[in-house]
Amino acid sequence: MATLHRIPIAALVRVLCIIYDSHDRIATADARRGIHRMSSLKQTVLAARSRRLPSAIYFEGDALARAAVVECARIPHCSFESSDPARLDEENIFVVADQQLFAEHIKRLRAPNVRVIALSDERFRDVRLDSTVYAYLPGSVSVTLLERMFDNAIDHMHLVQTRREANDKLALANSEIYELNHIGAALSAEHDTRELLELILTKCREITRADAGSVYLVEEEERGEARGPVCDQRTPRKYLRFKLAQNDTVAVPFGEVVLPIDETSIAGYVAEHGSVVMIEDAYELESWVPYSINKQFDMDSGYRTKSILAVAMMNPKNETVGVVQLINAKRNWRACLRTPEDIENEVLPFSTRQMEIVSSLASQAAVAYENSHLYENIHRLFEGFVKASIGAIEQRDPTASGHSFRVANLTVAMAEAVDRDQTHFRDVKFTRSEMKAIRYASLLHDFGKVGVREEVLVKARKLYPEQMEALRSRFDFARRTLQAESCERKLAHLLEKGSEEYLRELPRFDRELAARLDELDCFAEFIHASNQPSVVPEETFAMFHEIAGKRYRGWDGSVRPLVTAEEVRLLSIPQGSLDESERQEVESHVDRTYEFLKQIPWTREIRNIPELARGHHEKLNGQGYPGKLAAAEIPLPTRLMTIADIFDALAAADRPYKESVSVERALEILGQMAANGEIDPHAYELFVQAKVYERWKVDCFEY
């Protein structure tokens, strides 16, 4: 997290006075000579270009690179093998196509005084080589393109060197100005990025009396936007997004647009170089400047852009995070520039003093923006953690997938309906922090299920699948045993009584076997029906006692129970699929949720989240769990969450232990619960009247 520094106001005033005294004289002298600040930049560029021009170096064994370089007549060139050591220690541009030669000389080519232009139709697979390449050009590159890239590489080396020298001088000579860059702590209280940008631009315009202004932010493309087989290895591309515009004279038809960070536009130039551009008349740019202005807005609106001040928003890491661009400094802050006469009489060039002050404010703005951005990132980080946690929990019970999100949608929608209500809840108004607590509590209300055994959590029948499979195998074995015993009796009778008597008694043997098999099948069908999570009638318990007494002969001849006592106990569960211990384990998820949420260091405004989530199974009549709380002890947000939880449990997609019901039937059941004093009748009435249930699967606002 960025460290925030504060500077006393008196110190700020003293520094601004120094700026005024020292730079106003410079601005006056410049005005007398008719020179704006871009003139000094031109001199710097010309001075930089007066240095010895670097050479294009190629390897003798690299035929493709040698042929391409030799064709460039205006570029001084020589082979690596023929270059003397002193020349190689200077600034040079290496042109390579042979990856093997590149790899052999990688140490020299990674030197700071070297730029590498690679001739290849695709990026090198070797990461060491790829990271060293300044630019890729196709193997069939034209002379013009190669010369242009050679110029770019030279400009890049000179720019890096110039900026390094300038930053060193700035750090030594302007320590007080550097401290002013951290005054952004004054803006750090505003976490809403849009409001923060409005404040930054308004203050910059007030200080400079600018008629108009705009703010651009530097953004990076998402990793998923990158294309190509090596997209994961490259640095994400950055661009400028036009985020805000203000104009006191004409209405601005604002719409966000994206600009490249390059030298074609003023904002792009400032962002690319982290510099300041100050222009006296935008319609009379000098021929050497690389950028131009877009006059289309002036033509469409009848406006006249004249003086411009564009300043980079630099953070303490010396990274550009945005650009503040101001237009038309005025003599009179309240003047409107509607006619050419107004432009002529009111518009002034931006002064050096204004440039320094705006630069300081831009640095403050960068810090404040990064604080706001960091706050949003932390929020997104926690939001991602919450959603990932919920996803992990619901993967243990796929049939309940989406339950927590739907409960949050309904709970937040009900809370919003409570805010709008002018009847029973007219005195209740939830703050933004309270809405955030309600949302997180409803999202995480079932988090404690992570501590419930998965086989219990997804138990759909009274017997576990492996128990039911063992029971089926036992019945099959018993059936085969009955058939084998019948065959043994038949054989014994045949041997003892003879074939005539055997044939006479054979139908009786078959009837006895069929009767015993029918009884076994009847027991199996009864067990299958009893295994369903439905209500067990009182009269069926006698059948369980009868089944419990049945025996079969095992493979070793021992007599064993057909249905074990544990199986009889589970099949005798009066309602649902869980026995008492399993039900208590499932209900323990509420306390587990509370204990988990208590460990999170919630901020003061939302520290009641654990309490809100803990009560979502409580009932107003005191018959809920885990605390059997009375109505007065259950907060309103929890009452809303309870209704949302029950509605989703009733109407959601079929769960293994129950079938879903229609929305109408779910509302009827909720109405019965309200009449019985289990849920809040007023909240239920609002749930129906406001048709909150229609927001069931609509994502709620992320407070």
What CATH number is attached to the domain comprising 205?
3.30.450.40
Poorest-pLDDT segment among 149-158, 216-225, 299-308, 582-591:
216-225
Residue 370 in any domain: the answer is yes
Distance between CA atoms of residues 392 and 35, nearest Å: 65
Distance between CA atoms of residues 194 and 114, nearest Å: 43
Task: Say whether both 187 and 324 belong to one domain.
Answer: yes
Structure tokens of 488? 């043994």
Handedness of CA 561, 563, 568, 569 (dihedral sign): positive
Q: Is the pLDDT of residue 353 over 90?
A: no
Task: Say whether both 508 and 421 belong to one domain.
Answer: no
Distance between CA atoms of residues 479 and 470, nearest Å: 14
Task: Say whether both 256 and 327 belong to one domain.
Answer: yes
Task: Say whether both 205 and 91 belong to one domain.
Answer: no
- Note the pLDDT of residue 452: 86
Which 3 state secondary structure label does DSSP give 630?
Answer: coil
CATH number, position 120: 3.40.50.2300
Poorest-pLDDT segment among 185-194, 253-262, 331-340, 392-401:
185-194
Structure tokens of 209? 């009396």
Which 3 state secondary structure label does DSSP give 607?
Answer: coil
Task: Say whether both 619 and 661 belong to one domain.
Answer: yes
Average pLDDT estimate for 95-118: 92
Distance between CA atoms of residues 299 and 303, nearest Å: 7
- Note the pLDDT of residue 98: 93
Residue 368 in any domain: the answer is yes
Distance between CA atoms of residues 593 and 583, nearest Å: 16
Which 3 state secondary structure label does DSSP give 597?
Answer: helix
Task: Say whether both 552 and 606 belong to one domain.
Answer: no
Residue 102 in any domain: the answer is yes
- Note the pLDDT of residue 48: 39
Asked if 677 contacts 623 with a C-beta cutoff of 8 angstroms, the reply is: no
Structure tokens of 594? 């509370």
Average predicted confidence (pLDDT) for the chain: 83
Residue 581 in any domain: the answer is no
- Note the pLDDT of residue 654: 56
Task: Say whether both 107 and 207 belong to one domain.
Answer: no
Question: Domain span at residue 407?
Answer: 397-454+586-695
- Note the pLDDT of residue 229: 47
Residue 71 in any domain: the answer is yes
Asked if 609 contacts 440 with a C-beta cutoff of 8 angstroms, the reply is: yes
Task: Say whether both 310 and 412 belong to one domain.
Answer: no
Task: Say whether both 337 and 201 belong to one domain.
Answer: yes
- Note the pLDDT of residue 214: 93
Residue 382 in any domain: the answer is no
Q: Is the pLDDT of residue 4 over 80?
A: no
Task: Say whether both 595 and 571 belong to one domain.
Answer: no
Poorest-pLDDT segment among 34-43, 108-117, 258-267, 388-397:
34-43
Domain edge (last residue) among 343, 374, 405: 374
- Note the pLDDT of residue 461: 87
Going by DSSP bridges, is the β-strand pair 320-330/308-314 parallel, antiparallel, or unpaired? antiparallel
Higher per-residue confidence, 452 vs 228:
452
Distance between CA atoms of residues 331 and 350, nearest Å: 11
Q: How far is CA 23 from CA 28, 167, 422, in A?
A: 9, 19, 62
Which tens digit of pLDDT belongs to each residue from 555-613? 888 888 888 888 888 888 888 888 888 888 888 999 999 999 999 999 898 999 999 99
Which tens digit of pLDDT belongs to each residue from 147-183? 999 999 999 988 888 888 887 767 644 544 544 444 4
- Note the pLDDT of residue 145: 92
Residue 389 in any domain: the answer is no
Residue 552 in any domain: the answer is yes
| Buried b or exposed e, range 8-39, using 16+ CB within 10 angstroms | eeeeeeebbeebbeebeeebeebeeeeebbbe
- Note the pLDDT of residue 643: 96
- Note the pLDDT of residue 220: 85
Helices 432-443 and 352-396: crossing angle in degrees, nearest 10, is 30
Handedness of CA 154, 157, 159, 162 (dihedral sign): negative
Terminal alpha carbon distance of the chain: 23
Average pLDDT estimate for 205-212: 90
The number of domains in the chain is: 4
Task: Say whether both 613 and 649 belong to one domain.
Answer: yes
Q: Is the pLDDT of residue 137 over 80?
A: yes
Distance between CA atoms of residues 143 and 9, nearest Å: 58
Cβ contacts of 292-298, under 8 Å, gap ≥ 24: 292/264, 292/265, 293/265, 293/266, 294/265
**Strand-by-strand arrangement of the 114-119 sheet:** 77-79, 55-58, 92-96, 114-119, 133-137
The percentage of the chain sitting over the pLDDT mark of 90, rounded to a whole number, equals 39
C-alpha triplet 223, 224, 226: angle, nearest 5°: 70
Asked if 684 contacts 672 with a C-beta cutoff of 8 angstroms, the reply is: no
Task: Say whether both 652 and 593 belong to one domain.
Answer: yes
CATH number, position 670: 1.10.3210.10
